[in-house]
Structure 1
């Protein structure tokens, strides 16, 4: 696509994002044949909204997602955003955000991180998950670029990343961060016999975590395990970053550590703060979800999560348009 045509495409995408009919939906393809790549790919598609049954990808009581199943991909030279969920989450955890990105002209892919998702907690409390998470994202990226049937629609020079909580930790590593996992010892008293603390005592600590230079920009929301990233462990990060952090933290995320890491990040970055807790970054809750898992849906008095997500999603789309699309056109 020439520069002029690319600009016209993205102007049209921006207009469609503002004037979207309520029955329009993102196309979605389920990834359900490989347990190490269990998730979905969303992408631009002009079609009516549906509920897509998850089948064997069902997580807890969530049996479907919104989208148009196996709809043809609309557009060419599309940017790609990889999404990484938080601890114990699942690939559809940020449904409104991935839908917004797909409707704005991005291909979006997310998987259940093996050993740490809503259906599999086998490695959740192990230090090993801190190394296997980045490796799983690289495996997903390789699949999308090399084996996905619609890979020709993607511009492989325009790849972004969005992560929440432990997914945002994953993004810091992929971007070049080198966590000092020995710092977990600060939380391991003699009485603490958790799996991670026992691994620390035995010296079973992951090292040489993988980075991913194909990622050109990243949005990180309420990064977990901030204490493992002193300033010198962030020095190799050179990509553009949009950092969102919560004012009140929670779920093990200390807002003071979040602020310190955000300030220590090198290079081009933008930092925004939401006056809410950790789970405000999750999609607005349905009534059923709020009834069954209220701790993920409880926000401070007066805080409107739905209104916030309109701002949150718009900031992500604008950031990736600037860093992946416009900067890509200038190269």
Structure 2
């Protein structure tokens, strides 16, 4: 369905996203950016033969002055003829996102800030494992102090943990002592890997950020093959969430698919926990209404946020916002049709999820 008028015009804060490519792509490069896989399968498949790929042809092609469902090669050729700067401007403007919270922890050469292409506000999110990797070469003994110094001076509005990728989400609840952190860093550095993949270190980083009042985002669920999905269920965080609740600092569960119902439950029972469905919105494309409705089954509407988790392709910002607006409208129309709430309530819910919750959680002005 087409978005309700008040949803179509609603202001949006994208509370978790990445940079957008400032370089042109051939078909292979474009398809590679449509998937969480490390590469397109060589076994005769195409990412254009997916819900997301079909959404690009159906929803994005008209914005580039192509017919809906234009062939994939024609779409990529048109994109290249316009140039990355114009493509980025078109789709980011069409997304209608006014504030971007950008994770700068994944920033290969060629990425640009989304706000550089439109008149939007941009705020930073500090990736905790990236911080650890930056300060670790100074040695284990001073590691806790260097982390604290960096957190005390950051201008980021939030921190993000990718423990899901490195050690899984089954984190112990207790705050680790400095001595245990130094020992863990010593083991890490002794192994010769620059990659922070230690449960004690990840837990230390989370506690330090929360104790300094920084909201902490957790990658949860759906991601690339670098993670083990069964270790990314947010229910594994239950003990840590219980332990950190007295701090009163928000914890944000990102993406969550296929554990979005679990995340909704946690956001209901823990006062400091919030959730979204992130990149699942554009990944499932026309099916987003079903996924969003499942995510919203028990979560208070004041505990749910909008995000795209868009990375590299400007189309993903646009499709994330488009399918979010359509899915939310479907949910609200269904509720009004069941006489569960009225239009004023529906408008309030849309404002909470798209705008107000992010402002409250991240203390945005």
- Could you say whether these structures have the same fold, taking a TM-score greater than 0.5 normalized by the shorter chain as the test? no
TM-score, reference length from structure 2: 0.33
Judging by fraction of residues, say which structure has more helix: 2
Using CA pairs under 8 Å that are at least 6 residues apart, name the structure with larger relative contact order, 1 or 2.
2
TM-score, reference length from structure 1: 0.36
Judging by fraction of residues, say which structure has more strand: 1
The structure having more radius of gyration, on CA atoms, is 2
